[in-house]
């Protein structure tokens, strides 16, 4: 869960910030993971990278295009990690977020109809 965003740097072509992601291990021990985030966007695309101190790196791109009187969203996510078990964990969590985002977009579309 993201609990804070800090060190925001807004440039012409991109935005950089540090996202504080809080984990609980065994339901007791809290750990704040400081993640470096870079965002870039155009009228149809949002893309960027996430670098975690744990050796996890994500590259993502959301592309919007017109289709059949609506909007199609292409959501591409690539996960890299130094350690194989961390890759599996990070990929699973990233996929959960990706699916949740799709659900939120679908719900908003239904509410707008």
Q: What is the pLDDT of residue 113?
A: 58
pLDDT per residue as tens digits for the range 52-84: 887 889 998 988 888 888 878 888 989 998 888
Domain boundaries, the chain: 2-112
> Which residue's structure tokens are 């072509």?
13
| Global pTM value | 0.74
Q: Would you write out the chain's pLDDT as a tens digit for each of its 113 residues?
A: 788 899 999 998 899 999 998 887 777 888 888 999 999 988 888 899 999 887 889 998 988 888 888 878 888 989 998 888 888 888 888 888 888 877 887 787 666 65
60: phi then psi, degrees, rounded to nearest 5:
-140, 155
Q: How far apart are CA 74 and CA 34, in angstroms?
A: 28
């Amino acid at each position: 869960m993201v609990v804070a965003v800090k060190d925001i740097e807004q440039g012409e072509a991109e935005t950089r910030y540090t996202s504080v992601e809080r984990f609980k291990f065994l339901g007791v021990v809290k750990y704040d993971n400081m993640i470096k985030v870079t965002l870039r966007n155009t009228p149809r695309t949002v893309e960027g990278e996430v670098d975690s101190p744990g050796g996890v790196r994500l590259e993502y791109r959301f592309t919007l295009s017109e289709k059949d009187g609506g909007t199609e969203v292409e959501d591409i996510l690539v996960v890299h990690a130094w350690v194989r078990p961390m890759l599996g964990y990070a990929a699973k969590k990233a996929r959960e977020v990706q699916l949740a985002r799709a659900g939120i977009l679908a719900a908003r579309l239904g509410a707008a109809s």
